[in-house]
Structure 1
Amino acid sequence: MVKVILFDLDGTLLPMDTDAFINTYLSKLAPSVAEIVDPDRFVKALLTGTEAMIRSKDREKTNEQVFEEAFLPLIELKKEAIWPALDHFYDNVFPTFSYLSKPSPLSRKIVEEAGNQGYRLAVATNPLFPRTAIHHRLQWADVADIPFDLVTVYEESTYTKPHAEYYMEICSRLDVRPEDCIMVGNDIQEDMVASEIGMKTFLVEGYVIDRGEPHYRIDDRGTLEALFRKLQRKEGIFAEK
């Protein structure tokens, strides 16, 4: 019996063009630290650190630790020399990017309906960002006050999407089996890979990301409207078994 619903954030609970968002994010972040480090050097180091997190399968290190170990040597600075500027950016500049998202009132309705039906709730967003940045995006989606059982952030997670280990880590932290979970997301590779460990999957249409290969099992699919309707009516993968 399904006990937990995992929700992706960007492109799912928070409709947005992810590429446009990332481009704006990088174009604003680099200049904000220009007095500390050359912007071009900073961006290269940031991307290298991000790639290191994506590749890492070191269960002994959080994504934050992996990022720092790859990022800081490339800019030749100690953490305390640049982190205050990054914290200021995430606290004060990052929130202004809300215009790049297209929040839907259905997102809150879906999460609340799932909670009312007794499902445990998790936000399974790729933990490549600090907790502050993820919290801002939860606010944009109007679900920040929802009592989620888990929100994956880079300070606490040790794996990222599209690794199956990311989903296994979530199961371990929630003390559930993969077959007790439904993963709801818009990314055919990063989200639907959850099916490989036995999770059921729902592909949210509208901002689908598909890199072509590999392809994974999709148990159900539809727009946010269809997701809400099926959840309300207990249809499709939400049907009571």
Structure 2
Amino acid sequence: MEKKTIDNVKYIFLDYDGTIIENAESEFLKEYFTLLSKKSGIEFNQLLQLVMSSVEETIKNTANDKNLFEKFTMAISQSSRKSPEYWIKLFYAFYETEFDQLSRIVKPKKELIELISKTDKKLIFASNPLFPKIATYKRIKFAGLEPEMFLYVAHMENSTYAKPNPMFFKEIMAKLNLSPDECVMIGDTEFDMACEKVGIKFIHINETEKWKQVF
């Protein structure tokens, strides 16, 4: 990364799973579905299939007249033949209570967390917005951070698109009136690399020296 590019960076987009925390997404989801299965009374594999297929539908749905939470509840309602209200009530009850147990498995990436806590750069929480606000804020706290540390936190209710759709990044830039050359994305997957399609520089979490320089 050129020195000039580093000097230009004012906004740092950050992924969560595999980036802010060391846990891979698969590890987090296994525990997540174990708890949600107990809460809902729906068998683990059936619930996993139902939720993940609905998430896939949500990601594919590029209509701009609904947010991701609306898209998801519509998709899971159609697949399960249970009402959107049933799912909304279940998920919110889960996020208010049992979801907190997931904090015990979270392994924050300490070196990155320290830089996040000290930087004067503007931070954007750019994990794939597939959790509602209540859960997203809790996930941030699981890592030892506070939502207030971020200029913007992407979650289901304020997002129309999800990664790897580059519109996810474009929507945030439009809302905050950002120029891509002022931004950098730190992440760990090809989904995060979609930022390059809208002109945002991507740094892989394994490129430690590069992201240290950005901070």
Bin the TM-score by the shorter chain. 0.7 to 0.9
**CA offset at residue 123 of structure 1?**
0.4
Classify the secondary structure of the residue corresponding to 1:184: strand
Measured on the aligned residues, the alpha-carbon RMSD in Å equals 2.0
CA distance in 2, matches of 1:77, 1:102: 35
Q: What TM-score do the two structures reach when normalised by structure 1?
A: 0.78
Bigger CA radius of gyration: 1
CA distance in 1, matches of 2:193, 2:88: 34
Classify the secondary structure of the residue corresponding to 1:183: strand
Residue of structure 2 equivalent to 1:13: 20
CA distance in 1, matches of 2:82, 2:193: 38
Q: Judging by fraction of residues, say which structure has more helix.
A: 2
Residue of structure 2 equivalent to 1:70: 75
Equivalent residue for 1:176, pick from 153, 170, 178: 178
Gaps of 5+ in 2: 1-7
Q: What TM-score do the two structures reach when normalised by structure 2?
A: 0.87
CA distance in 2, matches of 1:75, 1:39: 15
Equivalent pair of 2:203/2:211 in contact (CA under 8 Å) = no
**What is the percentage of aligned positions where both structures have the same residue?**
25
Equivalent residue for 1:106, pick from 106, 111, 125: 111
1:80-135 per-position Cα deviation (integer Å, ceiling 9, x unaligned): 334323212112111111232211332332113332xxx22110010011112211
Aligned length: 208
- The equivalences for 1:133-172 within 5 A come to 133-172=135-174
Classify the secondary structure of the residue corresponding to 1:191: helix
Higher relative contact order (CA 8 A, sep 6+): 2
1:11-52 per-position Cα deviation (integer Å, ceiling 9, x unaligned): 111221221211221222123112xx6665544331221011
Gaps of 5+ in 1: 206-220, 233-241
CA distance in 1, matches of 2:128, 2:48: 20
CA distance in 2, matches of 1:4, 1:40: 40
